[in-house]
Chains A and B, each alone.
Chain A
Amino acid sequence: MKTNVVLLGCLSLLSASCLADNGDSSAIHRSAGADQANAGLKLPAGFKAQVVAENLGAARHIAVTPLGDIYVKIQSSKPGKAIAVLHPTGSGKPDAVKTFGTYRGTGMVIKDHYLYTSSDEDVYRYQLNDKFEVMHPDQPEKIVTGLINRHQHESKSIALDNAGNIYVNIGAYSNSCQQQDRAKGSKGIPGCPILDSAAGIWQFKADKLNQTYGDGVRYATGLRNVVGLDWNTAQNQLFVMQHGRDGLFDMFPEYYDLQQGNELPAECMYALKKGDNAGWPYIYYDGIQHKKMLSPEYGGDGKKTGGADAIDPVVAFPAHMAPNGLLFYTGNQFPERYKNGAFIAFHGSWNRQKGQKGYYVVFVPFKDGKPSGNWEVFADNFTGVENIQSPGQAQHRPCGLAQGPDGALYVTDDVKGTVYKISYSGK
């Protein structure tokens, strides 16, 4: 208790200085190292970035056709603004932006001759012609419908395998399945009922209309919320990025200090097999001790481990960075070490205190389906500010990832609706 009081004291002192800083707009410095030639991004040597489009709205996931046309899912309910289509010309920039569809949502994948998209309740697909253009923008086929949307963790992100299945994330409409969501000290609901209809990945047929829960399979459970996911073709396996839980310090200061609240739990990458359980809400993954820990809502105290039946992550990243995009790189343009490795777009944290983290695209090298080295920051400086204190200060936040036919990497930003194209020239 004593340490808690002291810590709280320190916290208020430190936050006081933050508050003071924030009132002063000069505290937001433009980062010195930003190279405007690379659209303001910081990249490894030999890579170049270009802005392909701007001001699209909240640009979420993205897909690029074999002919280089770009489809971007916009998180907007404005009539006719759900999907942006860019047809780049010689300069690499599109001449005009066309839009269609009226529904919020995040998901956007191209597989064979279909464009798959999702609202926050349904999954659609649009047939593509021989130039990979959407044939009937006003008549999508609704393949999945009636998925739960209680506004929290509502993105129904999607991925497809090579066997005609589509995988849909249904995020938990809760932080940790407490009796009272996010309330200080509130206990977990025994036998968390959210797991029946959410907090997992559901598998449906990619070509069957109007499927709902009864037609699908709960492919994996115990996943709080997955926004970034991808089918790893080299491994023939689904990989997902989980958004880890919040509030260990805020809600359970008797077990966690501010520092632990900031650094726990890890943001995890999981390789899924049918029937897997990643353990939410009963456990969380401590990336510092490399252990599955019992959640304080379910009897944990920051020391007790748990989750004997839960899988371990493939990679554990720092806490709260919000992984929104995952892409396994299969192109030939980037140097050999990038082949089959994972790019992850971290949207950036909000529930750390005294400085936020993330807001970048990282890379994890892979060999034989397993990470072959540590993760590294690949593209940085999206925020345009140093020492970001609050997400509202970020000028850009990375969200979706796609690979172009030439092997370039595309990154979306959902603050200003920028689409970046990152290419390798070796120079």
Chain B
Amino acid sequence: MKKIAMIGVALCATLSFLLAQTPKKPAGSQSSVTRGKKVYEQYCLTCHQVDGSGVPHLNPPLIKTSFVLGDKGKLIQVILKGMQASEPIDDEYYSNNMPPHNFLKDQEIADVLTYVRRNFGNKASAVTTADVKTARAKN
């Protein structure tokens, strides 16, 4: 009887140990997308809109633009430094300014860009915290 209880406790301990371990595995890009969506809603949605379509002539869309689908380093810099260039983006001018978002954590930037690159009709690879670290180190 005592033995069974012991085994039970041991089993429980192993189980809860295993349970506690599984969610702590390195975050897959699916959960990155889920978290990125939250970041998007809080910091990007007003300007780039709920569907990523932007505001005509004011804020650019995040749908298949050369920035969104292009070089990750360049894309990360847009988030870190913002954009006030008023240079044409895919042949369109946008009159608003984008403020820097360098206050976001590496993880948040990786998440939001992964979300953007996997949504609004975009299909591009995930952005990792390592990518963000590398980009930040260049500044």
Between-chain CB contacts (< 8 Å), 23 pairs: A8-B42, A12-B37, A12-B38, A18-B50, A19-B51, A75-B57, A151-B86, A153-B95, A154-B95, A182-B96, A182-B99, A183-B100, A184-B99, A247-B46, A250-B46, A350-B58, A351-B47, A389-B50, A390-B53, A390-B55, A391-B49, A392-B53, A415-B56
From A150, A182, A183, A392, contact of B51 by CB (8 A)? A392
- Given known pairs A151-B95, A182-B97, the reply for A15 and B56 (CB within 8 Å) is no
| Bound-state Cα–Cα, A150 to B95, Å | 8
- Given known pairs A11-B42, A350-B58, A415-B56, the reply for A389 and B51 (CB within 8 Å) is yes
From A182, A351, A392, A415, contact of B54 by CB (8 A)? A392
Chain B residues with Cβ under 8 A from A16's Cβ?
37, 41
The reply to whether the CB of B103 lies closer than 8 angstroms to some CB of chain A is yes
Chain B residues with Cβ under 8 A from A19's Cβ?
37, 50-51
Chain B residues with Cβ under 8 A from A235's Cβ?
none
**Is there an interface contact between B103 and A184, defined as CB atoms closer than 8 Å?**
yes
- Given known pairs A8-B42, A350-B58, the reply for A390 and B50 (CB within 8 Å) is yes
Q: Which residue of B lies closest to A155 (CB)?
A: B95
The reply to whether the CB of A236 lies closer than 8 angstroms to some CB of chain B is no
The reply to whether the CB of B93 lies closer than 8 angstroms to some CB of chain A is yes
Q: Which residue of B lies closest to A18 (CB)?
A: B50
Q: Which residue of B lies closest to A351 (CB)?
A: B46
Given pairs A180-B99, A415-B56, 11 additional interface contacts (CB within 8 A): A11-B42, A19-B51, A58-B57, A75-B57, A152-B95, A181-B99, A183-B99, A246-B46, A250-B43, A350-B55, A392-B61
The reply to whether the CB of A353 lies closer than 8 angstroms to some CB of chain B is yes
The reply to whether the CB of A165 lies closer than 8 angstroms to some CB of chain B is no
Q: How far is the CB of B62 from chain A (nearest CB, A)?
A: 12
Chain A residues with Cβ under 8 A from B96's Cβ?
152, 182
The reply to whether the CB of B45 lies closer than 8 angstroms to some CB of chain A is yes
Chain B residues with Cβ under 8 A from A152's Cβ?
95-97
Chain B 28-72, CB-CB to A under 8 Å as 1, else 0, gives 000000000110011101110111011111110100000000000
What are the nearest 9 A-B pairs in CB distance?
A183-B99, A392-B53, A22-B51, A151-B86, A390-B49, A350-B55, A182-B99, A15-B41, A151-B95
- Given known pairs A247-B46, A351-B46, A392-B51, the reply for A12 and B41 (CB within 8 Å) is yes
- Given known pairs A350-B58, A392-B49, the reply for A181 and B41 (CB within 8 Å) is no
Chain A residues with Cβ under 8 A from B14's Cβ?
none
Chain A residues with Cβ under 8 A from B95's Cβ?
151-154
Chain A 376-415, CB-CB to B under 8 Å as 1, else 0, gives 0000000000000111110000000000000000000001
- Interface residues of chain B, those whose CB is within 8 Å of chain A, are 37-38, 41-43, 45-47, 49-51, 53-59, 61, 82, 84, 86, 93, 95-100, 103
**Is there an interface contact between B51 and A390, defined as CB atoms closer than 8 Å?**
yes
Q: How far is the CB of B119 from chain A (nearest CB, A)?
A: 8
**Is there an interface contact between B50 and A15, defined as CB atoms closer than 8 Å?**
yes
**Is there an interface contact between A183 and B82, defined as CB atoms closer than 8 Å?**
yes
Chain A 144-182, CB-CB to B under 8 Å as 1, else 0, gives 000000111110000000000000000000000000111
Chain B residues with Cβ under 8 A from A184's Cβ?
43, 99, 103
Interface size on A, residues (CB 8 A): 34
**Is there an interface contact between A392 and B56, defined as CB atoms closer than 8 Å?**
yes
Chain A residues with Cβ under 8 A from B103's Cβ?
184
- Given known pairs A151-B93, A152-B97, A415-B56, the reply for A353 and B45 (CB within 8 Å) is yes
Q: How far is the CB of B93 from chain A (nearest CB, A)?
A: 7
From B45, B59, B103, residue with most partner A Cβ within 10 Å: B45
Q: Which residue of A lies closest to B59 (CB)?
A: A350
| Bound-state Cα–Cα, A22 to B42, Å | 18
Chain B residues with Cβ under 8 A from A150's Cβ?
86
Chain A residues with Cβ under 8 A from B43's Cβ?
184, 250
Q: Which residue of B lies closest to A154 (CB)?
A: B95
| Bound-state Cα–Cα, A23 to B53, Å | 11
Q: Which residue of B lies closest to A13 (CB)?
A: B41
Q: Which residue of B lies closest to A186 (CB)?
A: B99
Chain B residues with Cβ under 8 A from A15's Cβ?
41, 45, 50
Chain A 248-288, CB-CB to B under 8 Å as 1, else 0, gives 00100000000000000000000000000000000000000
Q: How far is the CB of A395 from chain B (nearest CB, A)?
A: 12
Q: Which residue of B lies closest to A104 (CB)?
A: B93
From B38, B42, B56, B99, contact of A391 by CB (8 A)? B56
Q: How far is the CB of B83 from chain A (nearest CB, A)?
A: 11
Chain A residues with Cβ under 8 A from B93's Cβ?
151
| Bound-state Cα–Cα, A259 to B38, Å | 18
Q: Which residue of A lies closest to B85 (CB)?
A: A151
Chain A 38-50, CB-CB to B under 8 Å as 1, else 0, gives 0000000000000
Chain A residues with Cβ under 8 A from B50's Cβ?
15, 18-19, 22, 389-390
Chain A residues with Cβ under 8 A from B54's Cβ?
392
Q: How far is the CB of B94 from chain A (nearest CB, A)?
A: 8
Q: Which residue of B lies closest to A15 (CB)?
A: B41
